[in-house]
Amino acid sequence: EVAQAHLDRIDAVDERVHAFLHVDREGALAAAARVDAGEVSGPLAGVPVAVKDVIATKGVPTTAASKILEGWRPPYDATLVERLRAAGTVMLGKTNMDEFAMGSSTEYSAYGATNNPWDLGRIPGGSGGGSAAAIAAFEAPLAIGTDTGGSIRQPGAVTGTVGAKPTYGGTSRYGLIAFSSSLDTPGPCARNVEDAALLHAAIAGHDPRDSTSIPQPVPDVVGAARLGATGDLSGVKLGVVKEFAGDGSEPGVLSAFHESLEALVKLGAEIVEVSCPHFQYALPAYYLIAPSEASSNLARFDGVRYGLRVGDDGNRSLEEVMSLTREAGFGPEVKRRIILGTYALSSGYYDAYYGQAQKVRTLITRDFESAFERVDVLVSPTTPFVAFPFGSRTSDPYQMYLADLFTIPTNLYGGPAISVPCGLSEGLPVGFQVMAPTLADDRMYRVAAALE
Ligand code: GLN
C-alpha cells in the first residue's frame, strides 16, 4: 500500500514537478511484495526511496542525466543500492539532476529541469534537485543524493527538506558515476533529521570495493538524532564562521539563520565567532580540483564502451567517432568543465593551477581543524540565496557557482555537513548548515535535530 500510494502520487504530480527520469513501477512493487512476504525486516523495510540517476542500479536505466548514457542499464548495483535492497527499502526510480552532477539548479539536465514544488517557476537546487523535489512533493519519503560541492545540501535548503553529506569515505562510491573522486560523497535526503539518520545508517560503512572507504564503524547517527530531538544542547559550542556572516547572502536568509541561532542558544548552546580565513578561496580551488578530476573521469565516455556512439559509418577514424560522440553527447556545462580541467592539468600549467589549488585545499582543512579545537560544530546558512527563477543564473557560470559558496569548504576538507530547514524568506525555504569534524557525523545530527 505504501509503495502503491507513492507510485500514485508520482502519477498525479510528476508531470508538473519532473523529479524522476525513470519510475521503476514493477521493481518497486516486487520489492514491496518481498517485505509483505516477511523476507526482509528492519527499520526501513517497505519504505520507498528514490535514487539519484548518477548511481548504478542493475537493469534500471542510469544516465547521470546525460545524452551520452541514454538507455544504459548497468549490469550491477552500486554498493549503496545493494544495501538499500538488503534493508528492504522499495526503490521507486531514478531522480533528475544536472548532467554528471555539475550544476546547482538541474537546468543542466539533458532531459529538462525539475521544478521546485514550492514554486514551479523556480529551481529545486542542484545537482540533486530531483531527489530533493521528490521528497518536498511527497513523491518519496527518502532519497539518495551525492554531494561533491553541495549537491545534497543546497537542494535540501531550497526545497525545505533535510540533506546530509556524510564524512568523505563514510559512504561507498562503488557504483557511483564518478565526477570528482576525491570529493564525491553519497548521502541521505529526507523530510526530517531522524529519517535522514536512518537512511544514512542503512547505506554507510566500510566497502572493500571503494579504496577510499573508511574501515571504521559508523557513528551512532540515529541515536544522536534522537538525542538532539530532546532539545538539550547545553555545553555545545557552535562556531559562526565570520567570513560567511555578511556579504553575498540575501537579507531574508540571514535573518532566518540568526533566528535559528537564537533558538539554539535557548536550548543551551553557546555561540562562538570563529575565523576561517581561507574559506574565501574555496570556490576557486574547487573549480580547479573538481573539473580536473572530472576531465579525467569523463574520458571513459568515448563512444566505445558505453551508451551513445555517433558517426560510426565505417569511413571515419576511431578518433573522429570519439570526438563526434562527445560533441553530441555532452552538454555545455560538462564541456566547460572538461576543457577547464584539461587545461589545469596540462604540462606547464599543472603547478600553477592544480598544484596551487591542492595547497589551498590543505589551508582550508587547517582552518577547519583549528576551528574544531575551539567549537564542536560550525554553522552557517546553507546557501546565500533562496530558490531562484529558471534562467536567472545560466548566462554567467559564476553566478551559478555562487550557490555553493557555503557548502564547498566542507567538501574540500572531507567532514560531514547537513542542511536543515530553518524558516522562510519571502515564502521560500531557507536552510541552516551544521558542519562537524571528520568522523563526527553523529554530532552534526544531534545539533540538526535540536533545530527541528
Ligand atoms: N554545484 C556544484 C558543481 O556544480 C556542486 C555539484 C555537486 O555537489 N555534485 O560542481
Each residue's pLDDT expressed in tens, for the chain with a length of 452 residues? 999 999 999 999 999 999 999 999 999 999 999 999 999 998 999 999 999 999 999 999 999 999 999 999 999 999 999 999 999 999 999 999 999 999 999 999 999 999 999 999 999 999 999 999 999 999 999 999 999 999 999 999 999 999 999 999 999 999 999 999 999 999 999 999 999 999 999 999 999 999 999 999 999 999 999 999 999 999 999 999 999 877 689 999 999 999 999 999 999 999 999 999 999 999 999 999 999 999 999 999 999 988 899 999 999 999 999 999 999 999 999 999 999 999 999 999 989 999 999 999 999 999 999 999 999 999 999 999 999 999 999 999 999 999 999 999 999 999 999 999 999 999 999 999 999 999 999 999 999 999 99
Q: What residues have CB less than 8 Å from 118, skipping those under 6 apart?
A: 136, 159, 160, 387, 427, 428, 429
CA of 39 to the centre of ligand 1 (A): 38
What is the CA(101)–ligand 1 centre distance, in A? 6
Of ligand 1's atoms, which has the minimum distance to the CA of residue 401? 1
Distance 20 CA to ligand 1 centre (A): 19
CA of 52 relative to ligand 1 center, distance in Å: 14
Ligand 1 center from residue 4 Cα (angstroms): 33
Pocket test for ligand 1, best of 97, 148, 183 (most atoms within 8 A of CB): 148
Report the C-alpha gap between 120 and 42 in whole angstroms.
36
Say what the pLDDT of residue 49 is.
Answer: 98
Inter-residue long-range contacts of 241-244, CB under 8 Å, 24+ positions, other chains counted: 241/274, 241/275, 241/276, 241/279, 241/371, 241/378, 241/379, 241/380, 242/273, 242/274, 242/275, 242/276, 243/275, 243/276, 243/277, 243/279, 243/280, 244/279, 244/380, 244/381, 244/405, 244/406
**Closest C-alpha to ligand 1, atom 10:** 102
Q: Which of 54, 95, 102 to mutate to test the pocket of ligand 1 (most atoms within 8 A of CB)?
A: 102
Task: Pick the atom of ligand 1 nearest to 179's CA.
Answer: 9
pLDDT value for 306? 81
Residues with CB under 6 A from ligand 1: 101-104, 127, 147-151, 179, 290, 404
- Distance (angstroms) between ligand 1 centre and the Cα of 148 equals 6
Q: In testing the pocket of ligand 1, which one of 54, 66, 100, 104 has its CB within 8 Å of the most ligand atoms?
A: 104
Whether residue 159 contacts residue 151, with contact meaning beta carbons closer than 8 Å, is answered with: no
Choosing from 105, 151, 260, 295, which is the catalytic residue?
151
Kindly give the distance from the C-alpha atom of residue 182 to the centroid of ligand 1, in angstroms, as a whole number.
Answer: 13
The one catalytic residue among 52, 67, 94, 165:
52
Q: Active-site residue 151, yes or no?
A: yes
Neighbours of 75 (CB within 10 A): 8
Rounded to the nearest angstrom, the distance between the alpha carbon of 179 and the centre of ligand 1 is 9
Atom of ligand 1 nearest to the CA of 102: 4
Ligand 1 atom having least distance to the Cα of 150: 8
* Residue 374: half-sphere exposure toward Cβ, Cα within 13 Å: 16
The preferred substitution site among 98, 123, 144, 286 for testing ligand 1, maximizing ligand atoms within 8 Å of CB, is: 98
Annotated catalytic residue, options 66, 105, 127, 180: 127
Q: Does domain 2-227 have CATH number 3.90.1300.10?
A: yes
Q: What residues pair up with 94 in beta bridges, in sequence order?
A: 22, 51
The residue whose CA is least distant from atom 5 of ligand 1 is 149
Q: What is the pLDDT of residue 63?
A: 98
The confidence score (pLDDT) of residue 56 equals 98
So what's the pLDDT on residue 246? 72
Note the pLDDT of residue 426.
Answer: 95
Atom of ligand 1 nearest to the CA of 104: 1
- Shortest-distance atom of ligand 1 to CA 290: 10
Look at strands 162-165 and 142-147 and give their pairing.
unpaired
Cell for 405?
559558496
